[in-house]
Amino acid sequence: MSIFTSRFILKTDPYSKHFVFNLPKTWETRPHEYEWAKNFAETEDIVLDAACGLSHPLKFYLAGKCKEVYACDIDARILSKSSILKDIRDTYGTVIENSFLNHYFHHIHFCHSSLSKLPYQDKSFDKIFCISVLEHLSKVDIEQTFKEFRRTLKDEGLLIVTFDYPTINLKALKILLDKVKFKFYGDYSFDKPDNLLVSTIWGELNCFRAVLIKN
């Protein structure tokens, strides 16, 4: 099945327990999410990791792959190198060497920002990645975030998102996407196969992946 198909993530989908770092065992779905999302990173891309988190590794992977990488988060510590390094150490038990800083860290444009008011110019990005974030936002903020994604994404750019279900209602999301002028890129399915990947940290949740483009 194509990586462009928007659907639930399955137990049988590719995953990696090592993604820049050795991922914590408690991250039940992230190994699958990152392994899928990385397929969209291309060498000439200018990309945004939206709500990137301090220690989360996607921005570092992108920095080693893409032409230019931006990363924003609502946590003000995102502007503090020492805070990021501490969170990496606390999360993975990894002490960062200078070679890592030179190869990844210094190639990222960090910004303290909410998703509902991005500080970037119109049509800045070839790809926007937003991994396991939408379920933490209010309905109002989700709508405004999509509007900001649309504004800052290039006309043929792709929005790569994952989110928890049923925290995010898929039928309501489809209605919202029509409103904010996004559509699924390629095929999509809301069907729930028997072999769904399940997260149990915050109750029983499934992870949905989506590739979106401007409508």
* Domain span including residue 79: 7-214
Of the pLDDT bands very low, low, confident and very high (cuts 50, 70, 90), residue 37 is very high
Tens-place pLDDT, residues 40-69? 999 999 999 999 999 999 999 999 999 999
Residue 44 domain-assigned (yes or no): yes
- Give me the CATH number covering residue 189: 3.40.50.150
Half-sphere exposure of 40 (CA within 13 A, CB side): 30
User: Looking at the domain assignment, is residue 2 inside a domain?
Assistant: no
Whether pTM > 0.95 for this model: the answer is yes
Helix (H), strand (E) at residue 212: strand 205-214
Rounded distance between C-alpha atoms, residue 126 and residue 173, angstroms: 23
The reply to whether 1 falls in a domain is no
Does residue 26 lie in a domain region? Answer: yes
Number of domains in the chain: 1
Task: Report strand pairing: 198-199 vs 125-131.
Answer: unpaired
Please check whether residue 38 lies inside any domain of the structure. yes
The answer to whether position 197 is within a domain reads yes
- Residues 93-133 pLDDT 10s: 988 888 887 788 889 999 999 999 999 999 999 999 999 99
In a domain, 127, yes or no: yes
Burial class from Cβ neighbours inside 10 Å (0-12, 13-18, 19+) for residue 202 reads exposed
Residue whose token pair is 């860290």:
105
